[in-house]
Chains A and B, each alone.
Chain A
Amino acid sequence: MPIIRVPSLFKYYLNNQAETRLEGRTVDEILHGLVREFPKVQPHVFDGNGQVRRHINLFVNADNIRDLNGLETPVGEDDIIKIVPSVTGG
């Protein structure tokens, strides 16, 4: 199963885990699986309209999904999906 990995501080939302394995064929399916399993993380990834928040960057291995096929980017058994929020400025 693919692995989804979050920054250290996001472990709070994942029962103190920095990563977890989830079933899914696309990034979108993995993300929805994530919030089903860990509902606390939902508002930090998705906005009120169900869209991925603007500041959430998603990578499949080393590649940003905006350079791939967005949320429909396929993921394989050994892929690592990373959630990396933009936390700069201010």
Chain B
Amino acid sequence: MPYGYNGKILHVDLTNAQLSVEVPPESFYRTYMGGSAMGLYYILKEMPAGADPLGAENVLTIMDSVVTGAAISGQSRVNVSARSPLTGGIGDSQGGGFFPAELKFAGFDGIVVKGRSPKPVYLWIKDGAAELRDASHLTGKLTGEVEQVLKQELGDESIEILQYGPAAEKGVLYASMMSMASRNNGRTGMGLVAHSKNLKAVVARGTKKPAVADQKALSVVVKAGPKMLPDNPDMAGLAKYGTASVVLPQNSMGTLPTRNYSEGAFEAAEELSGEKLYDQYLRGAADGAQDRQGRDTCYACIVRCKRVVELEGKYPVDPQYGGPEYETIGTFGSYCGINDLPAVSRANQICNAYGVDSITCGATIAFAMECFEKGLITTEQTGGLELKFGATEIMLEVLDQIVNASTPLGRLLGQGSERAAAAWGNGTDECLVTVKGQEAPAHMPQAKRSLGLIYAVNPFGADHQSSEHDWMIEEGLASDLYMSRMALLGMPERLPALSLGPEKVKFAYITEAFYSMLDSLELCQFVWGPGWTLYGPQETVDMVNAVTGWDVTVDELVKLGERRIHLMRVFNAREGIDRNADTLPKKFYKALQGEGPTAGIALTHEEIEAALDEYYRLAEMTHNGEPTRGKLEKLDLAWAAELL
């Protein structure tokens, strides 16, 4: 009997409305463990090269891991992968909440979806049984409405739902998958892929929790959490103020992207801060009850970093849709030159209600604002809107046009900024902040040089959750806690600020592998990680072994992370995506403007090219960034080499 997981993968053929259950051997679970790595196994085996991202041949995977649902913080995450309609390469999104654990309790570790249903359907999974049901009546409904309809229809308030929203039905290229109407599997357009298959939702309900191999050993790790949290200033800030706790530090360091990444300090950062959000806008703040009413959690997590905003007035916010994360505040706030948290919270609600990636969406609007400010587009392209930085009402108007695809501007921006630049021409590509077609998050590589490298090489485009950021190992910032954990990964020495030499590239690659492992074990990167988080590498090993009964080591887990990285690159190589796509936007090479510590700073082509050379060497890829047979065999992936 497996510990921690069910040993069952559900296969769904939507074209033929057929469901089947696979029971893979333990060796399969030990090799891939879950999440993105496990999804890639099926995608590479079952999706032909060159498949249309929105065609029936694309394969969509929804994966938990061997530890999802264990009663410990930071384990209820789910990965959704497929070929991305936004980037053309591998798509990858991660999200939390209660759906991931519920799927596990419903009897499956993951779902592999192929084909296309002739009409909208939802997949209903309950205690090991699964069926497809008609979902025609859900078309056009907001995610929160679908939550209500399905709970009523199934007569169970405890079901969990993963769904695409109306934005996918309108063809928004970065449409996402939503659960709880507030947890966003945001990146790379997985909601649009699900819509192309007419798979409106996956609905899970389960009562059977897989057994844990060593409950006593798991309890040791569980009980350490509440003791360690108050002593970890990074975690204490995250818990109370959410991911928005980082707004002010980012601004002080000059790394709060401002006016479409043209500057690194925003004069109104205080208005967007996590402290302001907590003090004034969380549900219950007026009565001082926001700790109870305005902080939400994922299954079994003690951190409770999720925000719940409830507002009336000019920008009403329904608490059902949660509250903005740092990234949403960054992209709809400082990125757009907007200093109004209620308006940003309203934008967050719209993104969640319609199902779009708030990073790409806010960044795309900011891109259009810069194009307008520079006169590269005019009111002719904007439909008469004065699309200027800081124009709060217009930002919300454009967002409405995007999610409803109601105007030519909205339909174009719904395709992301690269396609908008291609349509507009006139030098608008100079304003892009994209990698492989995906907009960059609100962490600036100008001051975190290895993050620039990771933005470039990450197979699904610019992503801030794919490696540890430079400051975790830099002199003047890296604490003894960070360094004691880095030592476990073979990096005991602090490195100079703003460096991108071979040692920093090693840091980038090893922590990328560690994060890649987290995205396969589906662990929250605000709870588990190689540096600042509640739990470090050793606790990760202890937890996995306690849950599964295995004897993994840090090295084995890092190898799992490498496995995922190389499988993603195999996927991309099949599609002709290699070093030629590992490039950064022109803006990153231009000196930042404005005030603050990063004004005047830019990346250089020489350092990035040298870092790419070193990265490919360390990763044992070709000089062109392609996977090699030798490395794939070392990673027990000889089968994947046959695909090259």
Q: A12-B254, A85-B249 are in contact. Are A7 and B476 (CB under 8 A)?
A: yes
Q: A7-B497, A85-B252, A89-B234 are in contact. Are A12 and B597 (CB under 8 A)?
A: yes
- Write the chain B residue with the least CB distance to A67: B231
Residue-by-residue, is B432-452 near A (CB-CB < 8 Å gives 1, otherwise 0)?
000000000011000100000
Q: A9-B597, A9-B598 are in contact. Are A84 and B476 (CB under 8 A)?
A: yes
CB atoms of B498 and A90 under 8 A apart: no
Interface residues of A in 1-27 (CB under 8 A from B): 5-13, 18
**B253 beta carbon closer than 8 Å to chain A:** yes
Q: B interface, how many residues as a size bin?
A: 35 or more
Contacts of B263 in A (CB 8 A): none
A-B contact pairs, 13 of them (CB 8 A): A9-B598, A10-B253, A12-B596, A13-B597, A55-B237, A57-B233, A86-B237, A87-B246, A88-B246, A89-B237, A89-B238, A90-B246, A90-B325
Q: A9-B253, A44-B252, A55-B249 are in contact. Are A88 and B597 (CB under 8 A)?
A: no
**A36 beta carbon closer than 8 Å to chain B:** no
Interface residues of B (CB under 8 A from A): 233-234, 237-238, 241, 243-250, 252-254, 270, 275, 325-327, 330, 442-443, 447, 464, 469, 471-472, 474-477, 479-480, 497-498, 526, 531-532, 596-599
CB atoms of B254 and A89 under 8 A apart: no
Contacts of A86 in B (CB 8 A): 233-234, 237, 245, 249
CB atoms of A8 and B476 under 8 A apart: yes
**CA A85 – CA B249 in complex, angstroms?**
7
A87 to chain B, nearest CB (A): 4
Contacts of A89 in B (CB 8 A): 234, 237-238, 243, 245-246, 326, 526, 532
Q: A interface, how many residues as a size bin?
A: 20 to 34
Contacts of B479 in A (CB 8 A): 57, 84
Q: A89-B238, A90-B327 are in contact. Are A55 and B245 (CB under 8 A)?
A: yes
Contacts of A47 in B (CB 8 A): 275
- Write the chain B residue with the least CB distance to A8: B497
Counting chain B CB atoms within 10 Å of each CB, which of A8, A47, A82, A84 scores highest? A8
A4 to chain B, nearest CB (A): 12
**CA A61 – CA B138 in complex, angstroms?**
61
CB atoms of A90 and B254 under 8 A apart: no
- Write the chain B residue with the least CB distance to A55: B249
**CA A48 – CA B526 in complex, angstroms?**
29
**CA A64 – CA B480 in complex, angstroms?**
11
Counting chain A CB atoms within 10 Å of each CB, which of B238, B270, B330, B477 scores highest? B477
Selected contact of B475 from candidates A8, A11, A13, A88, CB within 8 Å: A8
- Write the chain B residue with the least CB distance to A44: B252
**CA A8 – CA B498 in complex, angstroms?**
9
CB atoms of A85 and B253 under 8 A apart: yes
CB atoms of A54 and B275 under 8 A apart: yes
**CA A30 – CA B526 in complex, angstroms?**
34
Contacts of B241 in A (CB 8 A): 54
A3 to chain B, nearest CB (A): 13
- Write the chain A residue with the least CB distance to B269: A43
Q: A11-B597, A12-B597, A54-B275 are in contact. Are A87 and B253 (CB under 8 A)?
A: yes
**CA A76 – CA B498 in complex, angstroms?**
32
**CA A48 – CA B252 in complex, angstroms?**
15
| Seed contacts A8-B475, A88-B238, A90-B442; 18 additional CB < 8 Å A-B pairs | A5-B476, A6-B476, A7-B474, A8-B497, A8-B498, A9-B598, A10-B253, A54-B237, A54-B245, A54-B275, A55-B237, A85-B249, A86-B237, A87-B250, A87-B477, A88-B472, A89-B246, A90-B443
**CA A68 – CA B276 in complex, angstroms?**
29
B612 to chain A, nearest CB (A): 24
CB atoms of B245 and A9 under 8 A apart: no
Selected contact of B477 from candidates A48, A62, A84, CB within 8 Å: A84
- Write the chain B residue with the least CB distance to A82: B476
**CA A55 – CA B326 in complex, angstroms?**
15
Contacts of A48 in B (CB 8 A): 270
**CA A53 – CA B246 in complex, angstroms?**
12
**CA A7 – CA B476 in complex, angstroms?**
5
**CA A54 – CA B472 in complex, angstroms?**
19
CB atoms of B254 and A9 under 8 A apart: yes
**CA A53 – CA B243 in complex, angstroms?**
16
